């Protein structure tokens, strides 16, 4: 079990994802105990070594002996490559490195809308720079994943609700983005893009919770009433999560009301 010694990783303590995976590095022995430090508790030595702005976007790994710093996916490669030397050859492939850097940026720039902290952009915390292209890429990604799952699920709700099509679900999901964009622009214009990211995470969460139900026919269960009950339970979870995220964003309940209104209006049109 090879541990990367004399290295300290600096993580965003307001990011639940960052907390989980850096803690995993320590718990599995990839880093020494005490080999991670929260961004909010940096001492002067570490502050003098890192690029504070860059470390908000790309996690910093400090070699305390050589006093050198790597950032982002290079930090992850250094930790994993030390434990699994055979992977270093993979990490040297230019195409793989490019793809992993893009994936890392996609997640890092959107981490506050994927799994938000308890406070929106807490002062002096590790806040990633806003990147419009990556934010829209995330919104479209969630849209493209959610719509097909809803279309597949709708076939099991028949005859309670007419079956949907892929095209219709794409239009419904896209319509929700447009509708909420206009609503939030009237309520809190400066946070509309942050809200849309959070809203699409809620949609993606709902889609992921519906996926297990698609396996029910394998157990001999294919009742529209069972699927309707499952769907309502998922909607309840989504509503609670939507309310929580709107509260974190410091926005009015009107935003959640309009989110529910759009869905109810579409349901009535379909029926």
For range 184-209, the mean pLDDT:
96
| CA 160 to chain CA mean position, Å | 33
Residue 253's pLDDT is 92
pLDDT, one tens digit per residue, over 9-55 is 999 988 999 999 999 999 999 999 989 999 988 989 998 999 999 99
> 10 Å Cβ neighbour count for 6?
12
Q: Is 1 helix (H, G, I), strand (E, B) or coil?
A: coil
| CA 61 to chain CA mean position, Å | 22
> 10 Å Cβ neighbour count for 62?
23
Helix (H) or strand (E) holding 63: strand 60-63
Question: Contact at 8 Å (CB) between 81 and 87?
Answer: yes
- Burial string for 17-31 (b: 16+ CB within 10 Å, else e) reads ebbeebeebbeeebb
Residue 159, preceding peptide bond in cis (omega within 30° of 0): yes
Cross-strand partners of 31: 4
Q: Is 163 helix (H, G, I), strand (E, B) or coil?
A: coil
Tokens 């996916």 sit at which residue? Answer: 73
Q: Is 108 helix (H, G, I), strand (E, B) or coil?
A: helix
Residue 262's pLDDT is 95
Structure token pair of residue 92: 């040297």
Question: Contact at 8 Å (CB) between 162 and 245?
Answer: no
- 271 pLDDT band, cuts 50/70/90, is confident
> Percent of the chain scored above 90 by pLDDT?
82
CB-count exposure of residue 101 (10 Å: 0-12, 13-18, 19+): middle
- The Cα 15–Cα 18 span in angstroms is 5
Cα dihedral value 87, 90, 92, 93, nearest 10: -170
Q: Is residue 1 over pLDDT 80?
A: no
Report yes or no on whether pTM surpasses 0.85: yes
pLDDT, one tens digit per residue, over 94-136 is 999 999 999 999 999 999 999 998 888 887 789 999 999 999 9
Inter-CA distances, 181 with 132, 168, 170, 255, Å: 15, 20, 17, 10
Closest CA to 43 of 68, 16, 64: 64
- The Cα 16–Cα 22 span in angstroms is 10
């Amino acid at each position: 079990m090879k541990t990367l010694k004399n290295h300290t990783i600096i993580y965003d303590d307001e990011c639940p994802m960052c907390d989980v995976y850096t803690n995993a590095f320590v718990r599995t022995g990839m880093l020494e105990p005490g080999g991670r430090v929260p961004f909010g508790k940096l001492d002067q030595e570490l502050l003098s070594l890192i690029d504070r702005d860059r470390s908000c976007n790309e996690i910093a790994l400090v070699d305390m002996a050589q006093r050198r710093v790597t950032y982002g996916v290079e930090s992850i490669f250094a930790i994993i490559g030390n434990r699994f030397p055979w992977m270093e050859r993979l990490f040297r492939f230019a195409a793989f490195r490019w793809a992993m850097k893009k994936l890392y940026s996609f997640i890092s720039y959107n981490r506050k809308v994927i799994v938000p902290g308890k406070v929106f952009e807490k002062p002096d915390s590790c806040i990633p720079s806003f990147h419009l292209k990556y934010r829209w890429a995330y919104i479209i990604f969630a849209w493209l994943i959610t719509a097909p799952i809803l279309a597949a699920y709708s076939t099991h709700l028949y005859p309670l609700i007419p079956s949907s099509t892929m095209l219709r679900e794409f239009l419904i999901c896209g319509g929700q983005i447009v509708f909420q964009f206009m609503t939030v622009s009237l309520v809190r214009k400066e946070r509309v893009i942050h809200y849309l990211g959070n809203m699409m995470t809620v949609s993606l969460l709902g889609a992921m919770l519906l996926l297990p139900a698609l396996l029910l026919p394998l157990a001999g269960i294919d009742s529209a009433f069972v699927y309707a009950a499952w769907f309502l339970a998922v909607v309840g979870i989504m509503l609670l999560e939507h309310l929580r995220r709107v509260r974190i964003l410091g926005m009015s309940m009107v935003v959640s009301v309009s989110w529910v209104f759009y869905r109810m209006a579409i349901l009535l049109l379909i029926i």
